[in-house]
């Protein structure tokens, strides 16, 4: 068995086609699963207690060609490229469409997204669950 085969087998066993950001022991903020793919590269950054951001490297993309949407507990980031009107003499830079989804836990709220210097930053946090007050039931 080659090293590549060993790596591929281990990768399948560990990730089962998915990547999980946080496990329950690490301040479960949202249960995130994303298909394993290499583009776009991203970081998850913790700014303070309960405040996080996903940073995606999107050099060459502009905000008009990137969609950030939350629907039914799924954060979707999608990028499209429109270079049909460009007559390349030589093409050394690769721009491609991409699609990433992250499943959010029920208490996660996406605050904002901003694109600056080729970096898309999606800020989010979570609402602390409120304590459920007891209800007194009168006995008849």
What CATH number does residue 70 fall under? 2.60.40.790
Predicted confidence band of residue 90 (pLDDT cuts 50, 70, 90): confident
pLDDT score recorded for residue 37: 56
Alpha-carbon distance values, 131 to 10, 127, 134 (Å): 42, 12, 9
Task: Give CA–CA dist 81/136, Å, rounded.
Answer: 60
Looking at the domain assignment, is residue 39 inside a domain?
yes
pLDDT score recorded for residue 5: 55
Looking at the domain assignment, is residue 76 inside a domain?
yes
- What's the total number of domains in the chain? 1
Looking at the domain assignment, is residue 108 inside a domain?
yes
Contact 97, 60 (CB under 8 A): no
Looking at 11-25, 64-78, 93-107, 111-125, which range is the least confident one? Answer: 11-25
pLDDT score recorded for residue 129: 67
Looking at the domain assignment, is residue 97 inside a domain?
yes
pLDDT score recorded for residue 110: 92
Give the predicted TM-score (pTM) of the model: 0.62
- Mean pLDDT (the chain) is 75
Looking at the domain assignment, is residue 1 inside a domain?
no
The whole domain housing 47 covers: 20-126
């Amino acid at each position: 068995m080659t090293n590549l085969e060993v790596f591929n087998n281990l990768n399948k066993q560990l990730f089962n086609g998915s990547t999980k950001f946080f496990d329950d022991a690490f301040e479960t903020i949202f249960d995130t699963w994303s298909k394993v793919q290499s583009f776009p590269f991203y970081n998850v950054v913790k700014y303070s207690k309960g405040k996080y951001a996903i940073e995606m490297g999107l050099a060459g993309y502009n905000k008009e060609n990137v969609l950030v949407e939350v629907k039914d507990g799924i954060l979707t980031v999608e990028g499209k490229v429109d270079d049909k009107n460009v007559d390349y003499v030589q093409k050394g830079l690769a721009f491609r469409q991409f699609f990433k989804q992250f499943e959010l836990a029920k208490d996660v709220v996406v605050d904002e997204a901003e694109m600056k210097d080729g970096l898309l930053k999606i800020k989010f946090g979570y609402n602390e669950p409120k304590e459920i007050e007891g209800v007194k039931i009168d006995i008849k």
